[in-house]
Amino acid sequence: MHKVMQGIDAAEEAGLLPIKINCVVKGSSEEPDAVQVKAFCESRKFTVRFIHEMNLETGEYAVVEGGTGGDCKVCNKLRLSSDGKLRPCLFSDLSFNVRSLGAEKAFRMAIEAKPECGTRSFLNKFSLIGG
């Protein structure tokens, strides 16, 4: 936790604003830990976003409180995973290997393959997608 706080302080000192803190919640942003995160963010004038715990395999996801995630109709996000794959949707097994295709081709293919709505993913693991 000390290193996390050092990183937040360093980002603020460097002027990397706005600072957005993501907080994963099981059920509600009124959970005790989430309330403490919100109070911390308000005291430092940071933006807090509450991300409801997701299940990639069953396609359970929700709109991010304080953000824009989880709304398939307006989603324009791509995700680059730690294994070098560009994914057009977290709730899909589609991916394009940046290392073998090259960045430009992988981006083009991912954008063209962006689904209208995610369903579920059996291959995506949070350790690969930044969670």
87-112: burial string, b at 16+ Cβ within 10 Å, e else: bbbbbbebbbebeebeeeebbebbee
> According to the model, what pLDDT value does residue 25 have?
93
Run of H or E including 96? strand 96-97
Cα–Cα distance for residue pair 21/34, rounded to 1 Å: 11
Q: What are the structural domain ranges in the chain?
A: 1-53, 71-131
Per residue in 51-87, pLDDT tens? 888 887 787 777 788 876 667 888 888 988 888 999 9
- Quick one: which of 61, 56, 54 has its CA closest to 95? 56
Per residue in 92-112, pLDDT tens? 889 999 999 999 999 999 999
Cα–Cα distance for residue pair 30/12, rounded to 1 Å: 26
User: To which residue do tokens 């073998």 refer?
Assistant: 100
